[in-house]
Structure 1
Amino acid sequence: MQLLKYISNHTNLPEKSIQNTVTLLNEDCTIPFISRYRKERTGNLDEVQVGAILNFKSQFESLEKRKDSIIKAVEEQGLLTTELRQKFQQSADLTSLEDLYLPFKKKRKTKAETALKNGLEPLAKIVMVQNATDIDAIASRYLNKNIENKEEALEGARHIIAEWINERSDIRNQIRHQLEKLGQITTKVISTKKEDEKAQKFRDYFDWSEPINRCPSHRLLAILRAENEKFIRVKIEIDDESAIEKIRQRLLKSKGPCTEHINQAIEDTYKRLLFPSLSNELLKKAKEKADIDAIQVFSKNLKQLLLGAPLGEKRILAIDPGFRSGCKVVCLTAQGDLVHNETIYPHAPKNDSSGAIKKISSLADAYKIEAIAIGNGTASRETERLIKRISFKNPIEVFVVSEAGASIYSASKIARDEFPNYDVTVRGAVSIGRRLADPLAELVKIDAKSIGVGQYQHDVDQTKLKTSLDSVVESCVNAIGVNINTASVPLLSYVSGIGPKLAENIFNYRNENGAFKSRSQIRKVPRLGAKAFEQGAAFLRIKEAKNPLDDSSVHPESYAVVEKMAKDKGVVLTELISNKSILQNIDLNLYCTDSIGLPTLKDILEELEKPGLDRREKAKVFAFNQNIRAITDVQEGQLLPGIVNNITNFGCFVDIGIKESGLIHISNLSNSFVKDVNEHVHLHQQVIVKVLSVDVARKRIQLAMHQ
């Protein structure tokens, strides 16, 4: 099968679009660049469609690599025929390919292999033909020094037949179909672990059964985690007799002396070979599907988190709250630079609230603080109440900021390189403040899976998870654009075509030569060649540049067409930008060329109306119910304000201002049917929820969206 046909079968996209996109990918173009700046060649495909082409391209290449490996292995055995080579090459998926290869696969020493060495293959063939009238007499002819009697001869023949049955792709597919359609996943608690405290969170699965094709991804991953932690046993079950009967119907021609032997071989191969192999295969595929679902959930959440509302360039006082160890306080400039840090002790055991209030008040005056960011971990609510008691001279907004992953950042090499002379507590507080200013710029410094928005992210395929999350981060960074003169190395490394090494070179060049004055100056960065410039330049922004297009998403390759528009309208470039009356009267058809068509020209015009616009919302202050301080304060029927802090396939979790987040199950999100949770809520959305139930012992709160 050819690559284009393979991708087309899986995506239903136009073949020309696929072909051009594959060419661009082979030229080391990135997904953000292709989807944004090569619309004419791709037929206006978006990032998702380009990503799908890349995914299926990789799948096809892996399949072809496996075909080559198998063909070589069979050829080395001297068993490769023209017909067999063709069958291998025509396989459309790994499952059918591996089924074809099964008879040639090197196996551990088997009963069938022993029987073959003992010369029993002709006897097995006679039994399979099913027309022998005296099979016992025939079996007696195959006695030798290893086969002492006819019973041993017939047993050996049955082992050979069992392996033949196991290797038949039609029978394997038949059992697969039954397992996929009728298979039940069942669980039983290991009796010695039933009272184990750690096992209690899995107690719903101590005795569980449901069709595996209906088992949602989050439940399957929970079941498999419980099994891995040795709390339960997991099995796949179907009606074995029904499955065996279907094999009989395929193999048995009529009743006779050979029938019983074939029956025994069928039961043996089903119980010993077919069912164990195919039930494991089914569970593996179900796990892979659950992984994909979980990764998609995590990816959607991460995208929402990264594109969360920034406060912008404000002077921020950030607090990493705590009790015994105190609250670490830092003051940041509007550019996020650390100018002051110290520790206050307003809570137990020191309870120096008056001293803390004086200190915060004086710092706010000294550093002209415009906003305060408080981490949402231990002592967060108590610290928020303290801050709200302060009468500041100037208006200061107070925000509670998610700490998820802050401890990972503060102990990382990135944090040590940024703040070599400060300890982890100072770095953590700085991260909290910077997250308020710009979540995207700060969160890219943290391993994405450590941010903790998703379901069972540590149980899924880690390679696939990393690939997906890296793609999300790259998409978000390039969708917003990066200020090349303020960006950190981690942020720069996600810019299209740049990567970690070039990001370091950009950072070092900036430190040695001062701020970049133009995009053309980027070419002077060591080892940043024409390809990297082509891929990345349009996503790198330069504030207050001589050429205003350098602070826009217009690609440098299109500057000439914009300058021609300005010339044709009789204005200079600065008069054209943001001038709606002129821009709306430009006939784009006049500027179409072989390389620039209407899709790109429309993007250029849209950007010229509001160049460099950050499409993210702005951060908003939020207030929790001050009377809710612990789970024991939460009562059934209450209406409470909250913030969505995690989204899964089965619902969303809401922070109501205490340690335990409440769950809005998907059935309680709306009065109407909900297919996709993300269509109804988004991360950090401010909501009003109704308390349905509170289980203090299990620390669970059930909520409903207040309509």
Structure 2
Amino acid sequence: MTQTFHRMLSATLGIPEKQIEKTLSLLSEGATIPFISRYRKEATGGLNEVQIEAIQIQYDKLNELAKRKETIVHAIEEQGKMTAELQKRLDETWDSATLEDIYLPYKPKRKTRAEIARQRGLEPLATLLMLQREPNPEKRAEAYVKGEVKNVEEAMKGARDIIAEQVNENERARNCIRNAFARQAILTAKVVKGKEEEAAKFRDYFDCSEPLKRCSSHRLLAIRRGEAEGLLKVSLGPDDDECTERLERLFVRSNNACGQQVAQAVQDAYKRLLKPSIETEFAALSKERADDEAIRVFAENLRQLLLASPLGQKRVMGIDPGFRTGCKVVCLDAQGNLLHNENIYPHPPVSKPKEAFAKVQKMLETYKIEAIAIGNGTASRETEEFLKQHTFRQDIQIFVVSEQGASIYSASKIAREEFPDYDVTVRGAVSIARRLMDPLAELVKIDPKSIGVGQYQHDVDQSKLKKSLDQTVESCVNLVGVNLNTASTHLLTYISGLGPQLAQNIVNYRAENGAFTSRKELLKVPRMGNKAFEQCAGFLRIPHAKNPLDNTAVHPESYCIVEQMAKDLGCNVSELIASKELRKNIKPERYLTPTVGMPTLQDILQELEKPGRDPRGPIKVFEFDKNVRTIDDLQVGMELPGIVSNITNFGAFVDIGIKENGLVHLSQLADRYISDPNEVVSIHQHVRVKILNIDLERKRIQLTMKGVNSGN
């Protein structure tokens, strides 16, 4: 079975069997995807995280199918109906739909019309009709008029019910209709009568019809949401007449009275059994594909958001802006610890701008603030303008930060544990400031679904979504690496090989024993075994450690290689890292071993060149157009600066500094043809857009980037 799986995975994924075998072996030993991708390149042939994850997903699917097979085999054997030919077919089948088709005739049924007819002794009559030789079937049916069968018509109807079920359970018939659905199924949506006003947001789908194979994932999910809310009536199906004709060609072999009865049964089978069954199958299949696509887009957006540029360890002032309740201001040190908080009231109705500025200036000086982060919610533009109107005594950078999910965090258990003595407004402002310093470290504390970069996330398979988003967070955290001495429990949880308990144990150990001085010290943490250490060590950094390699992505298992390189060049490791000239003299081929190949050696050399490098780029200051505050300020043809706030398959949403985000449709993103918005834009990218259309009633803004000199 294992070899069969390896062969099938290789054919499906286009990856050699040997690499699949090694990867599955590592996964079964408890190795994580980030660890395998980063530190086991020789074993996997350099497979990346996406390929390793695909192997895992497909392998799990095959295992599920194998378990389903066992259940089916057991059920058929219990009925005493297993044959060598049937067993062979089951053994060779690895397609879920085909497997269920084979099992269908043996599947225990509730009391169907056909089953009732069989119990009334009408199966021989059904067989007679199917032979299609009897010139006068109604005469023969008289013999079956007894007991619960009151007349000839009832006998004929019962026989047709049996034939209809046989047609429904026939593999050729099911594949015939399945092929018709695959080729020509039309998805139709209509508004439910009397619900036009309530369904206004689904106006685009009030009377729409399109081939299922051309229906994009976002349209299908929108239609299905409208259906789930009871606002749209949705159907899915091919050309009924053509399907019936195809089935008749399969089963009707005579033009006599028996043939006519079979034709009637075929029509009933299609309408009552086959079509609803295959429609359900295709509805589920298309929904699954749409889910997968929506989850893929969400995960990619989340990855871009988590890997947004950090300001770094600087002293930051965070402002959660507001009108009536004022602006909550917090001051943090370079490690993100809260030093001070208070309210200022620069805006109406209180309107104390002079007092507010004096307070801000005092806080900037007292806490040696280097940058200001303003949340992008209510009163954000006004607060930014208020600050920029004044001249500070020191050079201060001002950033506007997305506050999506900040309110979720501020009321969460994590926030309460971090700041038990402060209310939600303080916690929210702290989150805004920390997002500027290190978006990744702060955003991992929030449920990804609350961050505002997905679409239809509540409509897709929730377990699949959670798994994908968790893997995305894990991938990002391990790509960047974390400071072992400052990382929160929540951030450490996502490090390869750790999890909630070990993460908490690390934080507890740190609190009791002070900062870690070496990676080796991790082995003193309760429940930290050799396997967990192997998985996590390379992703944990210790700045200013005695061994400089402890602040790099070089794994402790490879320290001996670097030490040998330094020894061969007559220097120590610190000198080797510091000197480009020394590193030029390293001949990596000299350090090849049966387990250490060129991929690992190249990674080591790259890391020595830029130890502990952060893959995220530098942060940039951004400014909205000062003349635009509301949708009423917009005019068609106006060019504006904006920030990409969300990406979907059909385009990108851009924040232009007002409540409503504008949409740049896929066709308006570039002067050339593109199939994926990610070819042109990324989350939080600074762009310039032109206004194409403004729909004030629906609060929709259409934008274009064509012919506009976009920023970066």
State the distance in 2 between where 1:416 and 1:250 align.
68
Give the drift of 1:531. 0.7
CA contact (8 A) 2:237 2:275 kept: no
Q: Once structures 1 and 2 are overlaid, which stretch shifts more, 74-83 or 247-256?
A: 74-83
State the distance in 2 between where 1:9 and 1:123 align.
48
Measured against aligned partners, the alpha-carbon deviations of 1:406-437 in whole angstroms (never above 9, x if no partner) come to 11111111111101111111111000000000
State the distance in 1 between where 2:194 and 2:555 align.
65
Show the counterpart of 1:249: 249
State the distance in 2 between where 1:70 and 1:406 align.
50
CA contact (8 A) 2:665 2:703 kept: yes
Show the counterpart of 1:593: 593
Q: Secondary structure of the equivalent of 1:330?
A: strand
Give the drift of 1:66. 1.1
Q: Once structures 1 and 2 are overlaid, which stretch shifts more, 111-120 or 301-310?
A: 111-120
Give the drift of 1:232. 1.4
State the distance in 1 between where 2:28 and 2:171 align.
36
State the distance in 2 between where 1:179 and 1:575 align.
68
Give the drift of 1:673. 0.6
Show the counterpart of 1:374: 374
Measured against aligned partners, the alpha-carbon deviations of 1:506-549 in whole angstroms (never above 9, x if no partner) come to 11111111100000000111001111001010001111100000
In the alignment of these two chains, the number of paired residues is 705
Give the drift of 1:625. 0.4
Q: Report the TM-score, using the length of structure 2 for normalisation.
A: 0.98
State the distance in 2 between where 1:192 and 1:293 align.
33
State the distance in 1 between where 2:696 and 2:578 align.
57
Measured against aligned partners, the alpha-carbon deviations of 1:644-680 in whole angstroms (never above 9, x if no partner) come to 0100000001111111111000000011111110010
Show the counterpart of 1:559: 559
1:676 paired to 2:676? yes
Show the counterpart of 1:114: 116
Measured against aligned partners, the alpha-carbon deviations of 1:20-50 in whole angstroms (never above 9, x if no partner) come to 0000010010000001111111011111111
Q: Secondary structure of the equivalent of 2:30?
A: coil
1:175 paired to 2:177? yes
Show the counterpart of 1:261: 261
State the distance in 2 between where 1:296 and 1:667 align.
21
Give the drift of 1:292. 0.6
State the distance in 2 between where 1:578 and 1:86 align.
66
CA contact (8 A) 1:578 1:611 kept: no
Give the drift of 1:202. 0.9
Show the counterpart of 2:66: 64
Q: Secondary structure of the equivalent of 2:194?
A: helix
State the distance in 1 between where 2:469 and 2:595 align.
32
State the distance in 2 between where 1:98 and 1:411 align.
48
Give the drift of 1:189. 1.0
State the distance in 2 between where 1:147 and 1:192 align.
45
Show the counterpart of 1:466: 466
State the distance in 2 between where 1:67 and 1:572 align.
60
Supply the AA of the counterpart residue of 1:39.
Answer: K
State the distance in 2 between where 1:333 and 1:169 align.
69
State the distance in 2 between where 1:489 and 1:104 align.
53
Q: Once structures 1 and 2 are overlaid, which stretch shifts more, 500-509 or 86-95?
A: 86-95
Supply the AA of the counterpart residue of 1:287.
Answer: K
Show the counterpart of 1:7: 9
State the distance in 2 between where 1:90 and 1:466 align.
33
Measured against aligned partners, the alpha-carbon deviations of 1:319-353 in whole angstroms (never above 9, x if no partner) come to 01111111111000000000001111221211111
Q: Secondary structure of the equivalent of 1:141?
A: helix
State the distance in 1 between where 2:19 and 2:103 align.
35
Show the counterpart of 2:186: 184
Show the counterpart of 1:48: 50
Supply the AA of the counterpart residue of 1:185.
Answer: L
Q: Once structures 1 and 2 are overlaid, which stretch shifts more, 77-86 or 98-107?
A: 77-86
Q: Report the TM-score, using the length of structure 1 for normalisation.
A: 0.98
Q: Secondary structure of the equivalent of 1:614?
A: coil
Show the counterpart of 2:300: 300
State the distance in 1 between where 2:584 and 2:114 align.
79
Q: Once structures 1 and 2 are overlaid, which stretch shifts more, 45-54 or 133-142?
A: 133-142
Measured against aligned partners, the alpha-carbon deviations of 1:81-114 in whole angstroms (never above 9, x if no partner) come to 3332332222212111111111122222111000
Show the counterpart of 1:548: 548
CA contact (8 A) 2:660 2:699 kept: yes
Show the counterpart of 1:408: 408
Give the drift of 1:67. 1.1
Q: Secondary structure of the equivalent of 1:187?
A: strand
State the distance in 2 between where 1:292 and 1:85 align.
33
CA contact (8 A) 1:322 1:379 kept: yes
Give the drift of 1:482. 0.7
CA contact (8 A) 2:663 2:703 kept: yes
Show the counterpart of 1:485: 485
CA contact (8 A) 2:489 2:500 kept: yes
Q: Secondary structure of the equivalent of 1:78?
A: coil
Show the counterpart of 1:25: 27
Show the counterpart of 2:659: 659
Supply the AA of the counterpart residue of 1:642.
Answer: G
Superposed counterparts of 1:187-586, under 5 Å = 187-196=189-198, 199-586=199-586
Supply the AA of the counterpart residue of 1:568.
Answer: D
Q: Once structures 1 and 2 are overlaid, which stretch shifts more, 411-420 or 347-356?
A: 347-356
Show the counterpart of 2:83: 81
Supply the AA of the counterpart residue of 1:292.
Answer: D
Give the drift of 1:132. 2.0
Q: Secondary structure of the equivalent of 1:258?
A: helix
Q: Once structures 1 and 2 are overlaid, which stretch shifts more, 500-509 or 115-124?
A: 115-124
Measured against aligned partners, the alpha-carbon deviations of 1:441-489 in whole angstroms (never above 9, x if no partner) come to 0000111111110221111111110110111101000001010100001
State the distance in 1 between where 2:17 and 2:100 align.
29
Supply the AA of the counterpart residue of 2:172.
Answer: D
CA contact (8 A) 2:186 2:237 kept: yes
Give the drift of 1:190. 1.4
Give the drift of 1:631. 0.5
Measured against aligned partners, the alpha-carbon deviations of 1:602-640 in whole angstroms (never above 9, x if no partner) come to 101110111101121121110110000100001101110
Supply the AA of the counterpart residue of 2:88.
Answer: Q
State the distance in 2 between where 1:411 and 1:583 align.
51
CA contact (8 A) 2:121 2:144 kept: yes
Identity of aligned residues (%): 57
State the distance in 2 between where 1:200 and 1:154 align.
50
Measured against aligned partners, the alpha-carbon deviations of 1:199-248 in whole angstroms (never above 9, x if no partner) come to 21111111111111111011111111111112111111322111100001
Unmatched runs of 5 consecutive residues or more in structure 1 = none
Give the drift of 1:563. 0.5
Q: Secondary structure of the equivalent of 2:703?
A: strand
Give the drift of 1:136. 2.1
State the distance in 2 between where 1:51 and 1:580 align.
37
Q: Secondary structure of the equivalent of 1:544?
A: coil
Give the drift of 1:398. 0.2
Show the counterpart of 1:164: 166
State the distance in 2 between where 1:205 and 1:581 align.
66
State the distance in 2 between where 1:31 and 1:608 align.
24
Give the drift of 1:495. 0.3
Supply the AA of the counterpart residue of 1:525.
Answer: V
Supply the AA of the counterpart residue of 2:654.
Answer: V
Q: Secondary structure of the equivalent of 2:257?
A: coil
CA contact (8 A) 1:6 1:60 kept: no
CA contact (8 A) 1:323 1:379 kept: yes
CA contact (8 A) 2:123 2:159 kept: yes
State the distance in 1 between where 2:696 and 2:273 align.
49
State the distance in 1 between where 2:347 and 2:600 align.
58
State the distance in 2 between where 1:488 and 1:75 align.
56
State the distance in 2 between where 1:151 and 1:127 align.
14
Q: Secondary structure of the equivalent of 1:193?
A: coil
State the distance in 2 between where 1:650 and 1:506 align.
44
Q: Secondary structure of the equivalent of 2:692?
A: strand
Supply the AA of the counterpart residue of 2:659.
Answer: K
Supply the AA of the counterpart residue of 1:160.
Answer: I
Q: CA RMSD in A?
A: 1.1
